[in-house]
């Protein structure tokens, strides 16, 4: 906000100088012999600013004027884009998911690959807002899924190149296939959570994060398949499938399964824990299937 105010202030300060002091604009224009009358629109008003303000940057005041005009246009464009984007998704919420540091990433990757020794799966809160991933290792983030997705695409290209089946279209196809599966999975999860009126605080970004964690397993599987051949591929597939299933079940259990204490009268809640359990188990079972589907063609 401060930089925006500063940027706004600069042209207006220049404008007030322009409107007041036009007497020196005429000699400035006369001295630049090669400016024709076609530049009258921008010439007289901006020459003064260019000459008086920063004539260290450019010897040519017109380029200076163009630069100031362009920067004010860019600021307006940035404002408009921010306003439009913030109608669809709040950028603050997105920033929360990218507030990670190295220690968190390392611990989270260890938990994803070996979740059996992790004791406490509860997401800690701080006065009703969840803690950022920097402070709580159980919070979900979007940094790891994004990086893992991009790494997976690069690794797929490399694997196909090793088998001499590479072409640039295949890379785009692989990327869009993986992206489409993520979108489908997130939509199915959202639909099932809506239909069963499960009151959770899982937002859409949380679901995208949990969907994206499987790419870490996929990268590990493809690497083992490339290094150790077909046997290594199946061993790594089994290992990462079990680890990921355990991770998903333990994480989602905390968020979906506890029944609400306010209105659980015991009547309608008999079917609910079962159905919620089915959702958790089904989404966990879906992970190894999709891992196998998306990686088997890379490791023949």
Partner 1 sequence: MAFTLYSLIQAAILCINAVAVLHEERFLRKIGWGVDQSVGGFGDEPGIKVQLMNLIRSVRTVMRVPLIAVNSVCIVLLLLFG
Interacting residue ranges for partner 1, rule: CB under 8 A:
173, 176-177, 179-181, 183-184, 194-197, 263, 265, 267-268, 272, 293
- Can you tell me the distance from the alpha carbon of 182 to that of 215, in angstroms, rounded to the nearest whole number? 10
Q: How far is the CB of 191 from partner 1 (least distance, A)?
A: 8
Q: How far is the CB of 172 from partner 1 (least distance, A)?
A: 8
CA–chain centroid gap for 188, Å, is 21
How distant, in Å, are the alpha carbons of 47, 66, 68, 69 from that of 63?
Answer: 10, 5, 9, 10
At 247, give phi and psi (nearest 5°). -60, -45
Q: 300 is written with which tokens?
A: 């023949």
Nearer Cβ to partner 1, position 113 or 160? 160
Nearer Cβ to partner 1, position 245 or 294? 294
Candidates 275, 113, 119, 94; CA nearest to 197 is 275
- Can you tell me the distance from the alpha carbon of 130 to that of 294, in angstroms, rounded to the nearest whole number? 33
Residue 156 near residue 171 (C-beta atoms within 8 A):
yes
Q: How far is the CB of 257 from partner 1 (least distance, A)?
A: 15
Q: How far is the CB of 212 from partner 1 (least distance, A)?
A: 17
Nearer Cβ to partner 1, position 110 or 179? 179
Q: 215 is written with which tokens?
A: 């790419």
Nearer Cβ to partner 1, position 182 or 224? 182
- Can you tell me the distance from the alpha carbon of 285 to that of 287, in angstroms, rounded to the nearest whole number? 5
Q: What angle do CA 258, 261, 262 make, to 5 degrees?
A: 140
Q: How far is the CB of 199 from partner 1 (least distance, A)?
A: 9
Nearer Cβ to partner 1, position 224 or 299? 299
N residues, the chain: 300
Q: How far is the CB of 295 from partner 1 (least distance, A)?
A: 14
Nearer Cβ to partner 1, position 100 or 196? 196
Place of tokens 């306010």: 262
Contacts of 5 (CB under 8 A, 6+ apart): none
Nearer Cβ to partner 1, position 54 or 190? 190
Tell me 42's DSSP state. T
Q: How far is the CB of 142 from partner 1 (least distance, A)?
A: 20
Nearer Cβ to partner 1, position 105 or 193? 193
Neighbours of 252 (CB within 10 A): 22
3-state secondary structure of 126: strand
Q: How far is the CB of 224 from partner 1 (least distance, A)?
A: 24
């Amino acid at each position: 906000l401060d930089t925006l105010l500063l940027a706004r202030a600069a042209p207006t300060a220049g404008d007030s100088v322009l409107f007041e002091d036009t007497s020196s604009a005429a000699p400035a224009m006369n001295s630049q012999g090669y400016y024709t009358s076609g530049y009258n629109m921008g010439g007289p008003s901006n020459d003064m600013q260019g000459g008086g303000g920063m004539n260290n940057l450019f010897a040519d005041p017109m380029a200076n004027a163009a630069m100031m005009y362009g920067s004010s246009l860019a600021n307006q464009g940035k404002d408009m884009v921010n306003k439009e984007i913030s109608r669809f998704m709040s950028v603050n919420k997105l920033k929360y998911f990218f507030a990670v540091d190295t220690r968190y990433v390392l611990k989270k990757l260890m938990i994803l690959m070996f979740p059996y020794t992790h004791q406490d799966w509860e997401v800690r809160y701080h006065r009703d807002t969840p803690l950022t991933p920097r402070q709580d290792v159980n919070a979900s983030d979007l940094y790891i899924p994004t990086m893992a997705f991009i790494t997976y695409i690069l690794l797929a290209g490399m694997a196909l190149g090793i088998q001499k089946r590479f072409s640039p279209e295949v890379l785009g196809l692989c990327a869009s296939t993986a992206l489409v599966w993520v979108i489908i999975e997130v939509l199915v999860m959202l639909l099932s959570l809506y239909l069963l009126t499960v009151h959770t605080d899982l937002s859409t970004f949380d679901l995208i994060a949990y969907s994206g964690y499987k790419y870490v397993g996929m990268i590990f599987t493809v690497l083992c398949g490339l290094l150790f051949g077909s046997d290594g591929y199946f061993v790594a597939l089994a290992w990462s499938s079990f680890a990921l299933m355990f991770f998903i079940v333990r994480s989602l259990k905390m968020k979906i399964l506890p029944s609400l204490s306010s209105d659980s009268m015991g009547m309608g809640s008999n079917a609910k824990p079962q159905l919620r359990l089915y959702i958790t188990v089904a989404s966990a079972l879906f992970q190894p299937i999709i891992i196998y589907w998306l990686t088997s063609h890379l490791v023949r």
